[in-house]
Amino acid sequence: MKYIKQICIALMLLLMPVTSWALDKKLGATNCFKVGIFDEFGNGIAGLDIITPFSDFAIKVQCGANSIVTVDETGDTVADEAGGYYYICTNDTITNNAEEECLNWQEGEGSYAGLIAKTPVKFKAVNDTASATVCDISASTSGVSFTVATCKDEDGNAVTLSTDMFVGSYMVAYTNGSAQCNVVGHGVFVGDVTSGGVVTVKDSDLPGSGFPATPNTANCGVRISP
């Protein structure tokens, strides 16, 4: 009798239509997703295994009618952000065509087989290339202040830095060295840029107000979205 209420709530959730907006996302060599992993009653599942190979769940991605990609868990990372939320980054190739709608979801494995509800993240692959401008991180003092250099556009042409360039844009860290960038997949909003390429991150309490660590200058670059 004591489980009747929970069962009724679960059945109601199953019957409710789910609607979500598809966010535009440019797919590149490394792609990241912030996801919530829940049980059948809508409770966030914290403390899942996030050391590769992940033993508690499999990561799935599919764009359009293309084959479902099961992340191979080699060179991929998962950060536990508490409360059942995780930040997943994968370097697996995601087959897509421009403007296709895509889904990312997680499936339970091992002791969690059949216990993780399918709660997909919906996004649209606006194209299958990286962002228009990429820069190396040549120096860094913290997660909110670093220097970019050797910037290039999507055709490989050099981009000359100038004061306030990229202000208001979104920079996402990617790996440009022999080892994985320590803040790969994380993004920041640009608040200020000097002519010498010194970037100051926009100060706010919102996500994107700083990298979680000081970027490693040997292996980190940024892709810049307007």
182 and 208 belong to one structural domain: yes
Percentage of the chain modeled with pLDDT above 70:
83
| Cβ contacts of 75 within 8 Å, gap of 6 or more | 91, 180
Read off the CATH number of the domain in which 48 is found.
Answer: 2.60.40
39 and 76 belong to one structural domain: yes
Q: Flag whether pLDDT at 166 surpasses 70.
A: yes
Instruction: Over range 168-197, report the average pLDDT.
Output: 90
Q: Which of 90, 125, 160 is the last residue of a domain?
A: 125
Q: How many domains does the chain have?
A: 2
pTM equals: 0.50
User: For residue 120, what pLDDT is reported?
Assistant: 80
User: For residue 52, what pLDDT is reported?
Assistant: 84
> Do residues 96 and 66 lie in contact, with contact meaning Cβ atoms separated by under 8 Å?
yes
User: For residue 127, what pLDDT is reported?
Assistant: 53
User: For residue 202, what pLDDT is reported?
Assistant: 87
What tens digit of pLDDT does each residue of 31-88 get? 888 899 998 888 999 999 999 889 999 999 998 888 999 999 988 999 999 999 999 9
User: For residue 16, what pLDDT is reported?
Assistant: 41
149 and 119 belong to one structural domain: no
What tens digit of pLDDT does each residue of 96-115 get? 877 788 899 999 999 999 88
Rounded mean pLDDT of the chain? 83
Amino acid in the structure at residue 151: C
109 and 26 belong to one structural domain: yes
Q: Flag whether pLDDT at 190 surpasses 50.
A: yes
Q: Flag whether pLDDT at 161 surpasses 60.
A: yes
156 and 85 belong to one structural domain: no
Amino acid in the structure at residue 224: I
Q: Which of 97, 125, 153 is the last residue of a domain?
A: 125
Domain that holds residue 171: 133-225
Min mean pLDDT across 51-55, 97-101, 135-139, 204-208 is at 204-208
Instruction: Over range 156-166, report the average pLDDT.
Output: 87
Q: Which of 98, 125, 152 is the last residue of a domain?
A: 125
105 and 75 belong to one structural domain: yes
Instruction: Over range 192-202, report the average pLDDT.
Output: 92
138 and 58 belong to one structural domain: no
> Do residues 132 and 224 lie in contact, with contact meaning Cβ atoms separated by under 8 Å?
yes
Question: Which has the closest alpha carbon to 36: 113, 116, 134, 137?
Answer: 116
103 and 150 belong to one structural domain: no
121 and 51 belong to one structural domain: yes
Q: Give residue 126's pLDDT band: very low, low, confident or very high (50, 70, 90).
A: low
Query: Tokens for 58?
Result: 């499999």
User: For residue 197, what pLDDT is reported?
Assistant: 93
Instruction: Over range 113-118, report the average pLDDT.
Output: 85
- Cβ–Cβ contacts within 10 Å for residue 163, how many? 10
Instruction: Over range 196-200, report the average pLDDT.
Output: 93
Instruction: Give the 3-state secondary structure of residue 192.
Output: strand
User: For residue 146, what pLDDT is reported?
Assistant: 95
| Cβ contacts of 169 within 8 Å, gap of 6 or more | 189, 190, 224, 225, 226
User: For residue 34, what pLDDT is reported?
Assistant: 87
The 85-90 sheet, strands edge to edge? 31-36, 85-90, 77-80
> Do residues 169 and 217 lie in contact, with contact meaning Cβ atoms separated by under 8 Å?
no
